[in-house]
Structure 1
Amino acid sequence: MTDQTFPRRAATPDRRPGKRERLVAAAVQTVHEQGVEATTLADIAKAADVPVGGVYYYFKTKDDVVAAVIDAHSQQIRTTLGQIESRHSSPKSRLKALVAAFVAQGEAVARFGCPLGSLCSELDKRPGEPSLAAELMRLPIEWAERQFHALGRPDAHDLAVDLLAAYEGSALLANTLHDSDLLTRAAARIGDWIDAL
């Protein structure tokens, strides 16, 4: 797994990812490690092992890169949530699997921050229209809300927000203190909280 909250889909062994796929994967990683503002198209080209001119064929501006990064995260969130749905039959086990997926990147989160939270926070500071990145937070919240509804909870939305807030707060502390064990301990507490519902 790479530096993402959700594991990236592996390329099939008989096919190398295409140039655009490599550029998007490199953009996701570089933006996570350096932030949007510090990342250049040259950085992405280098990480993808693509000539700089090749980047401009797919991405004309940094906004195009940001849109591709958001889309890649969004697709991966949907894929991961779909996998959780297919592998776990009860709402509680699904919620705990979501927490496990978040925490699986503990070392990268401790070093660079939560890929989703960091991106949303950085993009929210940019002038202009409301951030498209907010969808990245809505996806897991809405999914968790459905799980809490399945548990018969009338406060499902609030519980879903609390769940994501607990993770994001722990991710921020783990990054600030460079301590991935904070995420592990937070996941255990969140798991106990889910069990107690």
Structure 2
Amino acid sequence: MTDSEKSRGPRARAAGKRRQLTAAAARVLHEQGVERTTIADIAHAAEVPAGNVYYYFKTKDELVEAALAEHSGQLRELTDALDRLPDPRTRLNGLIEAWVSGRDTAARYGCPTGTLAAELGKREEGGLDLTAGQVVRQLLDWVEQQYREIGAVDPGGRALALVGAYQGMSLLSHALRDPEIMTREGERLIRELDASA
């Protein structure tokens, strides 16, 4: 235990460990997928003894749920930062640029939420697939609001098209292991957005 960990109280240390495990779960589940990931993999990535994981999370599904909450939080941080930009078109451009900036990760592992949603949707037991869908819905709702502020016709349809384009370019980039697909498609999306009314 480091000196800084010793100076914090037990609750703060427990919250810190839980946070470490949640961040590690989000990363490892994205990289390996739900079925291939073990609790021990997540514990190792979080630098927490495997037996200690059960103090914070009783099942792997609880870790998956925590990872989805992590993705939701990261998306909220991104959209909160974009909301500080002056207008909705600039915000959407910023979103596309953020997607493109993650091109190397997308080429290697795919979209963090999209890949989890696809994998969880194939499981027989339900629940977590709906949670993954809520994270996707969070993005769709934010994008739709930007199109609404622009005054676009059919903002919901435009949001579906933009988020669908992102999922498509992420999937193709991953399948072909070519991050430049994200770059080219991102540039195209920005040109289309700038040219639209």
Q: TM-score, normalised to structure 2's length?
A: 0.89
Matched position secondary structure for 1:133: helix
Are 1:104 and 2:114 an aligned pair? no
Letter in 1 for 2:155: A
Q: Tell me the residue number matched to 2:5.
A: none
RMSD: 1.4
Q: Runs of 5+ in structure 2 lacking a partner?
A: 1-7
Q: Tell me the residue number matched to 2:118.
A: 121
Are 1:74 and 2:85 an aligned pair? no
Deviating beyond 3 angstroms after TM superposition, the runs of 4 or more aligned structure 1 residues are none
Partners of 1:147 and 1:158 lie apart in 2 by 12
1:45 to 12, 19, 43: 43
Are 1:183 and 2:182 an aligned pair? yes
Letter in 2 for 1:118: T
Q: Tell me the residue number matched to 1:173.
A: 172
Q: Tell me the residue number matched to 2:133.
A: 134
Q: Tell me the residue number matched to 1:6.
A: none
After superposition, the C-alpha distances for 1:114-153 in whole angstroms (9 at most, x for unaligned) are 1111011011111133521001111111111011111111
After superposition, the C-alpha distances for 1:20-61 in whole angstroms (9 at most, x for unaligned) are 111111111100110011110000011111100111111110
Please identify, of 27-36 and 17-26, the stretch whose mean Cα deviation from structure 2 is larger: 17-26
Matched position secondary structure for 1:110: helix
Q: TM-score, normalised to structure 1's length?
A: 0.89
Q: Runs of 5+ in structure 1 lacking a partner?
A: 1-14
The structure having more radius of gyration, on CA atoms, is 2
Counting matched residue pairs gives 182
